[in-house]
Homo-oligomer: A and B are copies of this chain.
Amino acid sequence: MKQTSVVDDVTRAAVELFASQGYANTSVQQVVEAAGVTKGALYHYFQSKDDLLFGIYERLLSLQTERLTAIVARGEPTAETLRAVCVDVIETSVDFLLEGTVFFRSAHMLSAPRQQEVTRRRRAYHDTFAGIVERGQAEGLYRTDIPVAVLVAHFFSDVHYLSHWYKPEGPEDKTVLAHQLTDLFLVSIAASSASALASAAGSTASAEG
């Protein structure tokens, strides 16, 4: 009774191969062999190899956007919202670690229009995130001595980097890790941290800790 479809089998095989060998180093032949289908079947459902890659991004972006929207819609206080968003995106990224690997490595191999589409959607996601941080700044929660763009990049750098070092089979638990990274981020952007930079900016000799 197990129902497998060509689309699912191919997508699964593609994610694994793209993540382990890279998009460019993976031939369509390898994908169809790993998926147990024929080339003709693949091209019946996908217009091009590019489509395979975009499909992976599409799923990930849709999922993350949806989750972000849902959390924001709960209408909790800013600090709680931001913490929930951070934890959630890290956990989701761990769940889709292969997809993330492919995403960050191979986005530049997409056709130009699709690259723009991906960029557009990621930007929308980042903008929503930035909006929460800005609201927190207005409420006096977060420091304002560093541009929001830098704060946002600082957070997403952790998300991005996960696929470069995190091993799901390793010692770090996904949930614990999500809270640890979130805490590192939230501590660093807290309004109370702002003073540190003021004295440190022009000198490497100030004390901290």
Contact = CB atoms under 8 A, between A and B. Distances in A.
B79 A136 contact: no
Interface in A121-177: 136, 140-142, 146-147, 149-151, 153-154, 156-158, 160-161, 164-166, 171-172, 176-177
Contact of A147 (B172, B189, B196): B172
A209 B150 contact: no
A24 interface: yes
A191 B21 CA distance: 41
Q: Is the interface of A mostly helix, strand, loop or mixed?
A: helix
A150 B172 CA distance: 9
A187 interface: yes
A204 interface: yes
Given A200-B83, A208-B190, A177 B160 contact: no
A121 to B, nearest CB: 15
A162 to B, nearest CB: 8
Contacts of A21: 108
A181 interface: yes
Contact of A196 (B22, B151, B183): B183
A89 interface: no
Contacts of A196: 183, 186-187
A142 B189 CA distance: 17
Q: For the complex of A and B, list the 9 residue pairs with the smallest distance between their C-beta atoms, beginning with the closest.
A: A24-B24, A157-B161, A141-B209, A188-B188, A157-B157, A184-B188, A190-B209, A183-B197, A187-B193
A25 interface: yes
A27 interface: no
